[in-house]
Amino acid sequence: MENSKMTVLHDWHVEQGANMALFGNYDMPLWYKTGAKAEHLAVIGAAGIFDTSHMAVVTVRGEGARALLQLCLSKDLETCIGKGKTALVDGRCVYGIFLAEDGTVIDDAILYQLRSDIFMVVVNAGMGGIVADHLKKYTDGQDADVQDLTDKVGKMDIQGPLAAKILAKVLAHSAGVFDRLSYFSFKGSFGPFASDRVVTLVDGTPLLVSRTGYTGEFGFELFVEIDCLPSLWSQLMDAGMDQGMLACGLAARDSLRAGAVLPLSHQDIGAWPFLHNPWQFALSWNEPMTSFSKKFIGGPALLKSRWQKHTLPFAGFDPRKINAGEGSFVTRESGERLGTILTCTTDMAIGRVDGAIVSVASNKDFQAKGLCCGFVLLDQACVSGEKVVLTDGKRKIIVEIRADVRPNRTARRPMDKMLG
């Protein structure tokens, strides 16, 4: 525990009796007294709030900022928005990967354009300095000032179908804030990004409201000056407590994101080429996937790569899991070794009905027992529906390779449907 870090909400987590554990060197809540299952289900049926202030923020400013990010982020900033493939503009954000020259993953990120010359990059816990140094390496005399704001930004997420209704209670002029706030767009600003497009809480605190998250469900990531985070957190607790909202720990965050087929950086993506995985949309592939629409760091290595392994989502047939890690592996039913387990957790909101996966989101009376799910890294491609065996050398469980896991997710639902 020595040298481990704490977020500004740490005292609250401990006072609430959370089970704490180190994550990215931060002492974080795994679950509160409500338990991970109730927290997971709250996000599916109502809402949950998450302390995500362990994540790091890097800013890039200047005339050369966009060119630097276009060079370093895997996504093409000129064609990354929507079906029309338009350019990143103010108020929009995009998911991408920072690759090393060899095509391996440094970290994944969401890039926010606050102004044509001001960008905010949100990366994983402990990665602020590393990503900032990586960007600085490629500034090459251009006017692009890179700052690591690790531990200087307050961030929390509110996720779930009631997220907007609960957030509306603490926002000033919420109708205006939510108007046309489509998936992967944001409004407002805070501390280091003073702007005239102000979004504030009822108490006047400026914040940035982003229509993003890491659960696959409808909701927001909220950014404030770090000193304002405890107050925002308690205001949202008060606003949501009679709506079935729960504070959620990292266990629920992990099971929700696994069911939504979202990768955990340095676990599902990492020190191997970013190829043959479910997240190729994060690259700037052209239509036949033969080359990229732009030049970017790591791109040439990916095009030349002989990487043959495949990262694939899976779901089991009951809640049983195999702990991922050394000694655990994947085989065919015949016993032939296929690869390793990257993530294996239980999505508590789903179960099987006649073989098909059903979520409590589509049927509130459905008694989901949960299904194990996650990602495997296999030596060869497997098609969706194929069954493989996860084992720790003793226990074996059969799981199914899937294109998707938890159905009826709400992340992309139109704003008006969630407010109506």
Partner 1 sequence: MKELSEVIFVEELKYTEDHEWVTGSGATLKVGISDYAQDQLGDIVFVELPEVGTVFAKGDQFGNLESVKAVSELYLPVGGEIVAVNDALGDAPELINQDPYGNWIVEIKPSDTSELEQLLTVDAYRQLLRG
Residues that bind partner 1 (CB under 8 A): 17-20, 30-31, 35-38, 40, 251-252, 254-255, 318-323, 345-346, 348, 369-370, 392, 395
Report the residue number, 71 or 256, with the smaller CB distance to partner 1.
Answer: 256
Report the residue number, 30 or 247, with the smaller CB distance to partner 1.
Answer: 30
- 105-115/93-99 β-pairing: antiparallel
The tokens describing 278, both together, are: 């479910």
Distance CA 255, CA 35 (A): 13
Of 361, 352, 359, nearest to 400 by C-alpha is: 352
Report the residue number, 6 or 181, with the smaller CB distance to partner 1.
Answer: 6
- 396-401/387-391 β-pairing: antiparallel
Report the residue number, 14 or 381, with the smaller CB distance to partner 1.
Answer: 14
The full length of the chain comes to: 420
Report in angstroms how near the CB of residue 409 gets to partner 1 at its nearest.
19
The tokens describing 77, both together, are: 């900033």
Is 364 in a helix, a strand, or coil?
coil
Report the residue number, 201 or 344, with the smaller CB distance to partner 1.
Answer: 344
Report in angstroms how near the CB of residue 234 gets to partner 1 at its nearest.
21
Report in angstroms how near the CB of residue 232 gets to partner 1 at its nearest.
25
Report in angstroms how near the CB of residue 158 gets to partner 1 at its nearest.
21
The DSSP result for 106-132, as a single string, is EEEEEEEEEETTEEEEEE-TT-HHHHH
Q: What residues pair up with 187 in beta bridges, in sequence order?
A: 209
Report the residue number, 169 or 320, with the smaller CB distance to partner 1.
Answer: 320
What is residue 1's DSSP assignment? -
Q: What are phi and psi of 184, to 5 degrees?
A: 60, 40
Distance CA 173, CA 166 (A): 13
Report the residue number, 32 or 223, with the smaller CB distance to partner 1.
Answer: 32
Report in angstroms how near the CB of residue 275 gets to partner 1 at its nearest.
30
Is 239 in a helix, a strand, or coil?
helix
Report in angstroms how near the CB of residue 390 gets to partner 1 at its nearest.
11
Report in angstroms how near the CB of residue 407 gets to partner 1 at its nearest.
19
